[in-house]
Structure 1
Amino acid sequence: MMKRVFGRLLNLLFWIPLVLVFFSCSKNITPVDTAKKQPVEQKTTIAAVDSLTNPEQARAGNHIAFDTLIRPIHSGIPAVWKKDAVLCAKVQKKVMDYYTNTGYKTRWLGDKGPGLFFDELKKLLAQADLMGLRPTDYSLASIEDKFNDVYKTQPAIAAEVVDLDVQLTEIFFLFATHLQDGRVRNVPHNGDALWIRDPKPEKNVDVALLAGMREPEQLTGIVRTLQPAAEQYAKLQKALESYRALEKLEADEMPVNLSVKGKIKPDDHNAVIPYIRRKLSLTDLKVYAMPVDSTSGLFDSLLYDAQLVSAVKLFQMRHGLEPDGIIGEKTLKFLGQSFHEKADILALNMERFRWLPDERYLGNYIMVNVPEYILRVQENEKETLAMRVIVGAPNKPTPIFRDEVSYIVFSPTWTVPTSIIREEIIPRLRKDSAYYAQKNYAFFKDEVTIDPSSESWKDESINPYKYRIVQQPGPDNSLGLVKFGMPNTMNIYLHDTPNHRLFTKSFRALSHGCVRLDEPARFAEYLLRDQRGWGKENVAKAMNAGASSTIMLRKKYPVHIEYHTAWVDDKGVVNFREDIYGHDKKQLELLFPEKVSSVAGL
């Protein structure tokens, strides 16, 4: 009996430690939800740990995966952009590619609410005006209005969160496409002023960058990467930020149009002088104090004093005007532009950089800025040669396009365009049929040589297309001593001119459309610098040979004829130029359709 009791006691002593160990371990065992087959407490514990190390998950919760077969990606693009089918298709493809590459998971929103990625997107879109775009095009207000409804229950309904996330992604890619390709997709026809914009190849770099984003702060870098790489673009963006700030400082009482009778000269008195003094003080961030009358000792606010004259001269230089200190019609028009209008012009010129092909920033190229009347040779964004040019008159504008110089003609002939035969030569011959007798021209009618003095030019039904007129080589040739050929169908090229006095003028929109060079010999030497036998002496000899010779270039140089009415020079000075062909006015209406700009007269 005692032996049996003692045996049971030993068994009990053996099992007690095992039971204690079992119950101790059981405290760490997570109950299982048999319906979902998932650890109920484990999910809560992991979320709590992640919230300490992942601020995005703490804020937004878990990102939601979705099935596009059940929840197809739809278009949430604002109605204004739905009018542009090409743009909408481009954005929608990017959206689909993005979600495909990221496994169809929400980016901006989680099951708890919007995350830090959304905050960063919202901040960047609010600053779109500092990138030359309109924040209203990417308004998030309609989506944010839905947050309270979607997240009033926890967890939120997945399908509703997915819908909003897709709309945010569409807005991002709309913004990204504008940054890369421009908001104005098709440059409109502007009368005879042609602007030929080459289509840019499709690149989905924005899709790859967004898909690879891991931290919210990376979004700022992505937006910076998507914008043009040109150094000038970055300078314009900085200038735009300054002018947007100046908008807030500009006095409400500043008159829209500064009009005076005649001109204001140094030491004159005029009622607009106080406005000009205030405007230039804001522009230059420098106080131009009122002068004191030497006789009375009182302030003379209406006096156009020497200090203000110096400020006006600098203003005139920045606007491509003769820096004579005399305030005339064009100076007053530029002074009358508000900082708001100037900021819009800066934004427009940033937009134009988005239209340029990517190869524009690579290698060597030639750029003619029409409103500046300057040709520049660029090598890896560094200027190696610059000279003044004459461009097409407002009624015969130089087209904005890109081409390449492929050959040089020394001592060229000039075949007179039919438009000049009709508009200039025939009217002149009607007054004097012998006018061209000693002017080195050859006349052909139906390809037969004729004597122009024997023709009946007074016949009103005369057909100019029957005639071909060729000016022979020589110092008086309209093309000068050298022509630089480009193979375009518009018959636009670069050339010399017999009248170099015109290069001293500040307004040089004077040609029939082609671009005249002030230093054609230097330009020829540059183009031929890698071809043996074409040094300075041989170039000069060929130009004055009196007989035409054509030299094909071994290396063709890209030529970009562009239209920049605002830029920042190497000294950091913001420059503006006259809108000689009206491109600014037309394009500003598209870039900022809700605004009415007064640049029409400039």
Structure 2
Amino acid sequence: MKNLALSIIALLITFSSAAINRNGTENTTVLESPCVKTYLNTTINNSIVTIDLATIDRFFKKYTSLKKYRSDVVVLYKNRDYKSIWYDDKELIEFASLLYSKVNQLENEGLKFNIAYKDKIAAIFNNGTAIEITKTEKELLLSSLYIFYAKKVFQGLDVNKVQEIGWFLPQKTTSYKILLDSLLAAPQLLHKNESQLHPQYYKLRDALIKYRQIEKRNDWNPIETDLSIIEYNPGDSSKTIGQIRHRLVVLEDLEKDSKSNIYDAELMEAVLKFKKRNGYKPNYMIGSQHINRMNIPIEQYIKTIIINMERCRWISPGLAKEKELIMVNIPALKLIYRKNGNNVLESKVFVGINMLETVIFSSSISRVVFSPYWNVPRSIVENEIKPAIAKDSSYLTKNNMEWYKNGLRQKPGPRNSMGLVKFLFPNTYDIYLHDTPYKESFDADFPEFSHGCINMQKAKELAYLILEDYPDWPVDKIDQAMDGSKETTCVLKNKIPIHIGYFTAWVPDSGEINFYFDIYHKDYRLAELLFNEETH
């Protein structure tokens, strides 16, 4: 009788084996016998992974440090009807190893591999390890690893943290399930994915590699200074000149090091490149401020690049494809107007300072106002103009101002603080982009600062370019509207996006990285969040 029972079980096993296809997956027509199903489940669990909500919950109860990724992991499996992501038959798919390799190279992205359970994750790819780990655990560890990587590289810091440090540009959102689909279909997107990250990110990543190579060469010796010498000019000779020459070779502003201590024509061109890249007035004088800039430790340059790579994670990659837009980079004190993929105008700007910092945000220019009134903000009236009136009763007359509707305004004219044209975009910060009567200040050694608005050097040129496709606004009409006699408004048919950002490192189309002064000290706060971040 016992032998008969064993024979029946063996026969059932034979039938059930036929119900498993050649790929090792369970056929939907398996026998319903409970004893056979028990046997089959035992066999199949050694070859494939089945996932459900209960399994996911058990996993995150065990791996509690990964619990923050649970909701995103659930979405991944729900999108795939709870089928395995990382296994094909009995083996891990090739993309799993590729993802793990990229995570181990996170330093190239300016990030750290600081996820919990590193030893367990490493054991997935190490057949000789003594660490015991089930296939289900491997599956869910890899899914958690993917979410960790995608959040770190493609999304960046949490939006609430970003806004806490004063960044109000629209922050992009990332669909991790859609991203995973694209990566599985085209794994090369792990290396470069401009549908997820602005092209500037990858330019900065290249710069990071370059500056880390400089650091490894250990060729960043301090430039010695002579306190008795205020500045160096072409023709001067000094040991310091030779050290400056070498530093500019290291930075690739100069092609080769002649070892000369004389400030010659070759060095003059290199100094101009360095100054242009670092936001200085373009001349040949080398002062203590320039030497101090060159003496910034290489690791600080590296941190600055990493900080700005993080900022690039927050912005939409679609900005690079917009047909028309205006970008203002506050630290660079520069405005760029892009049209049809080209920079058609660059202009110096002034921005706010101290308690009147220009806000980082986006909007759209809807109107151009010629010969504008300046409606003086109440804070300026109370803190500056009323005290001035108290000292000089003719102050308003001298400054072409008048009381109007319970406020104060400055009438149109060549000395109006708005200049001869302003560009309006809706915002709650009372910030405008406008002309200024103080054009000479743009050529000063040290920048002027505004009350928060953006004063631009080439406002008239911007008006010409914006309206060049408006037949009703030829150049002569624009000039006439800017004669300062009366306020005239042009409503734009097509609003122009304007993005006011904050980047202390930026790589322009020329390919040479530019560094700018952290005038609002925002790098320091962001560095605290990035470099002191707790383990994920």
Which residue is 1:493 aligned to? 432
User: Does the residue aligned with 1:421 lie in a helix, a strand or coil?
Assistant: helix
With 422-431 and 545-554 compared, the bigger mean Cα shift is at 422-431
Q: Secondary structure at the match of 1:289?
A: coil
Are the counterparts in 2 of residues 98 and 211 from structure 1 also a CA contact under 8 Å?
no
Q: Which moved more, 1:519-528 or 1:551-560?
A: 519-528
SS of 2:493's partner is strand
Aligned match of 1:132 in 85, 103, 110? 110
Counterpart mapping for 1:220-299 below 5 A: 220-222=188-190, 224-225=192-193, 228-251=196-219, 254-255=221-222, 260=227, 263-266=230-233, 275-284=243-252, 286-291=255-260
Deviation digits for residues 501-524 of structure 1 (CA, Å, limit 9, x no counterpart): 112236435211111122222222
User: Retained in 2: the 8 A contact 1:318–1:576?
Assistant: yes
2:408 matched to which residue of 1? 469
Matches of 1:251 and 1:594, distance apart in 2: 30
In terms of Rg, which structure is larger? 1
1:398 aligned partner, one-letter code:
T
Aligned length: 502
| Higher mean displacement: 494-503 or 281-290 | 281-290
Partner amino acid, structure 2, of 1:65: T
- Per the alignment, residue 349 of structure 2 pairs with 389
What amino acid maps onto 1:130 in structure 2?
A: N
- The CA deviation string for residues 495-542 of structure 1, in whole angstroms up to 9 with x for no partner, is 111111112236435211111122222222333334332010001111
Q: Which runs of 5+ in 2 are unaligned?
A: 1-7, 25-45
1:330-362 C-alpha deviation (Å, 9 max, x unpaired): 323321223332222222222222212354233
Partner in structure 2 of residue 574 of structure 1 = 513
Distance, in Å, in 2 between the alignment partners of 1:350 and 1:65 is 38
Amino acid at match of 1:542: A
Indicate the larger mover: 176-185 or 35-44: 35-44
CA deviations on 1:61-83 (whole Å, 9 max, x unpaired) are 9442234435536448998887x
Q: For 1:100 and 1:149, locate their aligned partners in 2 and report how far apart those are by CA, in whole Å.
A: 30
Shift of 1:113: 7.5
Paired amino acid for 1:326: M
Query: Which residue is equivalent to 2:270?
Result: 311
- Would the alpha carbon gap of residues 550 and 80 (structure 1) be closer, same or farther in structure 2, given more than 3 Å must change? farther
Cα distance change of structure 1 residues 66 and 545 upon mapping to structure 2, 3 Å threshold: closer
Correspondence for 1:555 among 467, 473, 494: 494
Aligned positions of 1:51-66 closer than 5 A: 62-66=47-51
Spell out, residue by residue over 1:262-305, the C-alpha distance to the aligned partner (whole angstroms, 9 max, x if none). 634135566655654443222117432322xxxxxxxx6xx656
Deviation at 1:421, TM superposition (A): 1.9
2:339 to 374, 379, 384: 379
Of the three residues 326, 336, 354, the one matched with 1:366 is 326
Match runs of 1:147-166 below 5 Å: 160-166=134-140
Give the corresponding residue for 1:598. Answer: none
Distance 1:529 1:398 in 2: 29
Moved more, 305-314 or 321-330: 305-314
Aligned to 2:151: 177
Distance 2:167 2:91 in 1: 47
- Report Cα offsets for 1:191-231 as digits up to 9, x if no partner: xxx43243434x42x4135357668xx43324533764533
Distance 1:389 1:81 in 2: 46
Equivalent position of 2:43 in the other structure: none
Q: Which residue type is aligned with residue 477 of structure 1?
A: N
- Measured on the aligned residues, the alpha-carbon RMSD in Å equals 3.8
Distance 1:427 1:200, change over 3 A: same
Determine the structure 2 residue equivalent to 1:121.
99
Secondary structure at 2:162 match in 1: coil
Q: Compared with structure 1, are the counterparts of its residues 559 and 104 closer, same or farther at alpha carbon in structure 2 (3 Å cutoff)?
A: same
Alignment-mate amino acid for residue 118 of structure 1: A
What CA distance in whole angstroms lies between the structure 2 residues aligned with 1:533 and 1:46? 71
Query: Equivalent residue of 2:192, what SS?
Result: helix
Match of 1:479 among 397, 418, 436: 418
Q: Secondary structure at the match of 1:473?
A: coil
Matched, 1:96 2:84: no
Partner residue in 2 for 1:187: 162
- From 154, 168, 175, give the equivalent of 1:196: 168
1:571 aligned partner, one-letter code: S
Residue aligning to 2:360? 400
SS of aligned partner of 2:520: coil
Aligned equivalent of 1:18: none
Asked whether the 8 Å contact 2:231–2:288 carries over to 1, the reply is: no
Structure 2 residue 308 is the aligned partner of structure 1 residue 349: yes
SS in 2 for 1:552: strand
Match of 1:513, SS state, is: coil
Residue equivalent to 2:396:
436
Q: Deviations over 1:564-590 (max 9, x none)?
A: 222222222111111111112211221
For 1:474, the aligned partner's letter is G
Counterpart amino acid of 2:204? L
Find the counterpart in structure 2 of residue 168 from structure 1: 142
Shift of 1:125: 1.0
How far apart, in 2, do the equivalents of 1:281 and 1:390 lie?
33
Identity of aligned residues (%): 30
Question: For residues 234-279 of structure 1, what are the alpha-carbon distances to aligned partners after superposition, in whole Å with 9 as ceiling and x for unaligned?
Answer: 3222222222222211347x34997956634135566655654443
1:46–1:425 Cα change, 3 Å: closer
**Residue 457 of structure 1 aligns with which residue?**
none
Q: How far apart are 1:35 and its partner, in Å?
A: 6.1
Q: In the alignment, what sits opposite 1:208? A: 178
SS of residue matched to 2:309 = helix
**Aligned with 1:560: secondary structure?**
strand
Task: Give 1:405 deviation, angstroms.
Answer: 0.9
Q: Secondary structure at the match of 1:324?
A: coil
CA contact (8 A) 1:106 1:162 kept: no
CA distance in 1, matches of 2:113, 2:87: 21
User: Structure 1 residues 358 and 574, CA, compared in 2 at 3 Å: closer, same or farther?
Assistant: closer
Mapped to 2, the partners of 1:438 and 1:77 lie a distance apart of: 76
CA–CA separation in structure 2 for the residues paired with 1:136 and 1:258: 41
